[in-house]
Amino acid sequence: MRTRFLLILLNTFWLVGCVFGQPAGSGVGSQEITVFAASSLSDAFDELAQAFQSQNDAVKVTLNFAGSSHLAAQLKEGIAADVFASANPAQMGIVIETGLVEAGTEVLFVSNRLTVIVPVDNPAGIRSWEDLAKPGVRLILAAKGVPVRDYVDAIVIAMAVDFQDRFYANLVSEEDNVRQVSAKVALGEADAGIVYSSDVTPAIADLVQQIAIPDAHNVTAPYQIAPLVDAPSPELARRFIHFILSEEGQSILSRWGFTPPPAKLENYFEPD
């Protein structure tokens, strides 16, 4: 009886040692990676996460979507993450300056273009970019500091001063992120909004019309991705970014309306 009790006790200690003494990331149990990504990446990154999980047993990808400026602020406040995907280099630069991302580890992985959207019945009769400055148009944009708003402001500041004044006089609401802009326009809560082309997803495609911004005014929006210096799962962060850059990852991004990254970053506010 005493011998049997000692064997049970020894087995118990061995099992406890296996569970609590197992080093992190050793493959026992599930592993998790946390990805902070710009709101405009929501649908594409949902699919990318599912594909990555299907190829990596026991791996869970947790996604946190918000405007890139909000994500950068969260990271500066100390919220842990493994990967940061920003809709513009400015917010990535802020995170690099704080030491949360090592300079040189950020890579361009995709780009985007802007488009005007209006409700499907187009109550304001908007037919062109210039119509956004007509009196009485209810215009909705992302808030200042959100990358898509930076791009919009860069376009508008290149226009005549009279256009600038009339354009901003029509601004009735500023949203925390670009997906809120597209949602409100789709619901008819504004006459027009400016979003990324990729934001016209199947969920709202039948609820809005797109009004093209002429190439002479439009911009290319380059997106960057990088691992965090203190990533809880650095190896998974590296593998996830590698997957994003792979042929399969780029194909998924393309299906959601994104285009390949620009060849270089300089003068990214300037039209092609």
Q: What is the pTM (predicted TM-score) of this model?
A: 0.80
pLDDT at 269 over 60: no
The Cα 183–Cα 205 span in angstroms is: 11
Quick check: 25 pLDDT over 70? Answer: no
Handedness of CA 62, 67, 70, 72 (dihedral sign): positive
Whole-number pLDDT of residue 265: 56
DSSP state of 259: B
CATH 3.40.190.10 fits 8-111+222-255, yes or no: yes
Average pLDDT, integer, range 50-75: 95
E strand map for the chain:
31-38, 59-66, 83-86, 107-119, 139-142, 171-175, 192-196, 208-211, 220-227
Assigned superfamily of 112-211? Periplasmic binding protein-like II (3.40.190.10)
Q: How far apart are CA 113 and CA 192, in angstroms?
A: 17
- Whether the Cβ atoms of residue 219 and residue 89 lie closer than 8 Å to each other: no
Digit-coded pLDDT (tens) for 212-259: 999 999 998 999 999 999 999 999 999 999 999 999 999 999 999 999
Residues of the chain with CATH 3.40.190.10: 8-111+222-255, 112-211
End-to-end CA distance of the chain: 83
